Amino acid sequence: MSAREPYDLAGVGLGPFNLSLAALGDRVPGLRTVFFERLPEFRWHPGLLLGGTTLQVPFLADLVSLVDPTNPWSFLNYLRAVGRLFPFYFAEQWHPYRAEFDAYCRWVASQLAACRFDSTVTGVEHDGDHFVLTVERGGAVETVAARNVVLGIGTAPVVPPELAHLLADDRVLAVHSAGYLPRRDELAAAGRVSVIGSGQSGAEVFLDLLRARPAGREGLHWLARTEAFTPMEYSRLGLEQFAPEYSRYFQQLPEAVRDQLLPRQWRLYKGISVETIAAVYDELYERGIDRGWPDVLLRPGTAVTGADIGTDGVLLQLRDVLTGEADSLATDAVVLATGYTERPADALLRGFADRIARDGSGRARIDEQFRLVLDDDLGGNLGGDLGGGVYVQNAERHTHGASAPDLGLGAWRSATILNSVTGKSVFDLPERSAFTTFGRGGRPHVDPAHGRRAAV
């Protein structure tokens, strides 16, 4: 491959976002792309594909529809292809089941020639003219040249350091929620189970265990650092903070302002859907009809500061976040629904990691086209008719805001990247998509070929 004409775009990782890029790029005439994924097939959060769980975004937030609704890789076309379009219509399922979204993505990935599974990218370097990817597949190693690279390496589960020893000890039944489903039967049969974390995953795991355990002997604890089990922001004007112009507005804010603002927006992406909260409450209420209060502990405002492993199970060390008072809680099993963090890319980009521009906190600077800002010497050699650069997907929350991991903005971000890679508007993106005005009123216009901005 190294002797062939370089690809226009090479992707590392194949989650929903890079799969969106592959699907949209499939419709760009003459564009040569390739995407590498270490797993043998596409899988999306397999440990949380619980029955009945749905996406928190509508079906239009698929791989392509919000920028290219006639694209053959849309969710609606998938339903037509597998004979489920009319059942979906009759079901009036605005939010698709999570398992069906996973099946849809696997349907797309299995048909796109650009998608290469069982292929691990171990390094990305720059030879002065192009990026060179080292790819391992089936024991063989090859190099692949590309004018542009896009990193979609996803996120990794967050395990609090004070609880990491629970996962490492074979005596303890403990798991991060990302691996919940394979351990579900064990957890359902355990004595006392503590779920730690107040987000959607924590709520879904708690509800699933609650339904699996006998009434009156639930033995469940749900602990959360947040002051309440809070619904996710889902008002119509609130959702406009996921509009493209808000992402552009956020990116232009000073770094210090972004860092202060993002934690205050946690309800945009860390809350619980109203439907899930209602389902938890209804289940608890129904169980109390004949037997009184169910055997559950729902305790927000509680930090888990440590855990002691004994012969009788685990003793969790707790602290009230408001009063600072400490106490403890005995449990037999633990589920850490403690979220995810972006995987670092420095080791992958070791050939030029020191050439990536950094902000005041040492994080990579990312421009409006979702491209890493590189120093002038390296960037100046990435030219050619198609420009060149390293793009990122779902690694830019610190620069572009809470919408980074949201499926709803995935197609727009992919189209923005493709417009930048090709140097032209192969996708006509809307200048305005929200009624809310962010900032002083000027709506930024981006020249896809050069990234210049002007207020309109």
pLDDT per residue as tens digits for the range 347-373 = 999 888 899 999 999 999 999 999 999
Q: Report pLDDT for 262.
A: 94
Q: Is residue 241 part of a domain?
A: no
Q: Which of 285, 304, 339 is the last residue of a domain?
A: 339
| Global confidence as pTM | 0.91
Q: Report pLDDT for 136.
A: 97
Q: Are residues 173 and 128 in the same domain?
A: no
Q: Is residue 250 part of a domain?
A: no
The mean of the pLDDT values for the chain is 92
Q: Report pLDDT for 441.
A: 60
Q: Which own/partner contact pairs does 253-259 have at CB distance under 8 Å and 24+ positions apart? A: 255/359, 255/360, 255/361, 256/360, 258/398, 258/399, 258/401, 259/361, 259/398
Mean pLDDT, range 122-145, rounded to an integer: 94
Domain count along the chain: 2
Q: Report pLDDT for 375.
A: 76
Helix (H, G, I), strand (E, B) or coil at 32: coil
SS (H, E, C) 214-266: CCCCCCEEEECCCCCCCECCCCHHHHHHHCHHHHHHHHHCCHHHHHHHHHHCH
pLDDT surpasses 80 at 450: no
pLDDT, tens only, 105-122 = 999 999 999 999 999 999
pLDDT, tens only, 264-316 = 998 888 899 999 999 999 999 999 998 899 999 999 999 999 999 998 899 99
Q: How many other β-carbons are positioned within 10 Å of the β-carbon of residue 186? A: 12
State the DSSP string of 334-367. EEE---EEEPP-TTTTTTTGGGB-B-TTSPBPB-
User: What range does the domain containing 121 cover?
Assistant: 9-154+343-455
Q: Report pLDDT for 449.
A: 52
Tokens 């020249």, residue located: 447
Q: Are residues 326 and 372 in the same domain?
A: no
pLDDT surpasses 70 at 123: yes
Confidence class for position 442, pLDDT limits 50, 70, 90: low
Mean pLDDT, range 193-201, rounded to an integer: 96
CA 214 to chain centre: 34
Q: Is residue 407 part of a domain?
A: yes
Specify the pairing of strand 453-455 against strand 444-446: antiparallel
Q: Is residue 238 part of a domain?
A: no
Q: Are residues 302 and 448 in the same domain?
A: no
Q: Are residues 210 and 278 in the same domain?
A: yes
Q: Are residues 301 and 224 in the same domain?
A: yes
Q: Are residues 292 and 222 in the same domain?
A: yes
Q: Are residues 98 and 137 in the same domain?
A: yes
Amino acid present at 3:
A
To the nearest 5 percent, what fractions of the chain are helix, strand and coil? 30, 25, 45
pLDDT surpasses 60 at 383: no
| pLDDT > 90 in the chain, percent | 86
Amino acid present at 367:
D
pLDDT surpasses 60 at 389: yes
Mean pLDDT, range 421-446, rounded to an integer: 84
Q: Are residues 71 and 167 in the same domain?
A: no
Q: Is residue 256 part of a domain?
A: no
Confidence class for position 234, pLDDT limits 50, 70, 90: confident
Mean pLDDT, range 219-240, rounded to an integer: 94
DSSP code for 438:
P
Confidence class for position 452, pLDDT limits 50, 70, 90: very low
| pLDDT > 70 in the chain, percent | 93
Q: Are residues 176 and 89 in the same domain?
A: no
Q: Are residues 328 and 191 in the same domain?
A: yes
Q: Please list the alpha-helical segments (H only) found in 33-115.
A: 75-81, 85-91, 98-109
Q: Are residues 140 and 14 in the same domain?
A: yes
pLDDT surpasses 60 at 173: yes
- When mean pLDDT is compared across 47-56, 70-79, 202-211, the lowest value belongs to 47-56
Mean pLDDT, range 192-204, rounded to an integer: 96
